[in-house]
Amino acid sequence: MDTHPLLQGVLIAAQSLGLPVLVALAVYFLTRPLAAGIRLTLALLLGFSAGWAALFGSQASFPPRQTLDWLPLLAAVLALLGLLPRSVRQIAYGLLLAVGLWLFSPPLLMRADWLVLLGEWAVALLVGLALLLTVTLRADTLRLPVALACAFGALGFVTSLGGSIVIGSLLNSGFALAGVLWLAQSRLPTTAVTAASAAGVVVWVWLAFSARHLAEIHPEETLLAAAALLTLWLPLPARLRHLTALLLPALPALAAVGLAVWRYFAAQSYYY
């Protein structure tokens, strides 16, 4: 059934932002008897899966035919790995990141040889591992969700504007769920917030890799969005700690958005 054009944008926003948040909050409150970490993991997994199903489900198939078909399956495995002890969990996340990047590689293989594929895969893996290490070592529950939201939100905007609304909207779902994590972080143990943030980083890297190879998103904007996470290494001043925690990751995120907007107007296409 055709949706009225005027409602299309509202529908996509509801599918990518509203639905994941509603599902995540509902799951979080309905699973009260469970441990906080498990509740959070379930809430984020089902919230993300709901957004994916609403945005991409009608095009998806099982067994996976398109690379994006893998996302909910990989996210489910990621959620399971989140229940592992911390020492093992980081290695498991890294391995799954590598496997996921490989599963997202076919579009690259269609137009490049194996050497290029291996090079791109290795670079994405190294960047991903560096971001994972950052989130794990800088386990600041106040800053993690904000940095994650900035990384997801910036790349979501950039991808929606300049390549693919589907991938951009999936990134926007990550942005919305990082918001849920931010709301819940004060009531959650640090380990749960860190594990969820690390899982978020893995999903971000998969989507960034897809945005690059399926939607031709420029690496400059991607790296600027990644820099939002790298700001976790910067110290926060004792005064205005909350404000600085928000501003620091927002700066590279805004730079990524600004660069995409500049490209959009410089091209004088005004496509949307």
Partner 1 sequence: MKFKSLTLSALTLLAGVAATSPAALAHTADKGTYKIDPVHSSVLFTVTHLGVARFTGRFDAISGELTADGIGAGNAVKVEIDATSVNSGFADRDKHLKSPDFFSAAQFPTITFNSTEVKLDDSGKGTLTGDLTLRGVTKPVTFDLQHIGAGQDPWGGYRSGYTATTTIKRSDWGVDFLLGGISDEVDLVINIESIKQ
Is 163 a binder of partner 1 (CB under 8 A)?
yes
Of the listed pieces 141-149, 209-217, 222-230, 240-248, which binds partner 1 according to CB under 8 A?
Answer: 209-217
Is residue 221 within 8 A of residue 258, CB to CB? The reply is: no
Is 222 a binder of partner 1 (CB under 8 A)?
no
Q: Which two tokens stand for residue 5?
A: 């054009």
Among 149, 155, 165, 228, binds partner 1 (CB under 8 A): 165
The 3-state DSSP composition of the chain as helix, strand, coil percent (nearest 5) reads: 80, 0, 20
Of the listed pieces 31-39, 72-80, 117-125, 160-168, which binds partner 1 according to CB under 8 A?
Answer: 160-168
CB atoms within 10 A of CB 68: 22
11 vs 142, which CB is nearer to partner 1?
11
Distance between first and last Cα of the chain: 22
Among 29, 34, 35, 59, binds partner 1 (CB under 8 A): 59
| CA dihedral over 178, 182, 187, 192, signed as positive or negative | positive
148/159 Cα distance (integer angstroms): 16
- At its nearest, how many Å lie between partner 1 and the CB of residue 42? 28
Is 58 a binder of partner 1 (CB under 8 A)?
yes
Is 200 a binder of partner 1 (CB under 8 A)?
no
Among 216, 242, 258, 262, binds partner 1 (CB under 8 A): 216
Q: At what angle do helices 36-56 and 71-81 cross, to 10 degrees?
A: 180
Provide the phi-psi class of 113: left if phi over 0, else alpha when psi is between -120 and 50, else beta: beta
Of the listed pieces 26-34, 70-78, 211-219, 228-236, which binds partner 1 according to CB under 8 A?
Answer: 211-219
143/244 Cα distance (integer angstroms): 9
- At its nearest, how many Å lie between partner 1 and the CB of residue 114? 17
Binding to partner 1 (CB under 8 A) within 14-53 occurs at none
Q: Which two tokens stand for residue 54?
A: 């609403």
7 vs 130, which CB is nearer to partner 1?
7
> What is the binding site for partner 1 (CB under 8 A)?
1-5, 7-8, 11, 56, 58-59, 61, 65-68, 106-108, 110-111, 162-167, 210, 213-216, 267, 269, 271
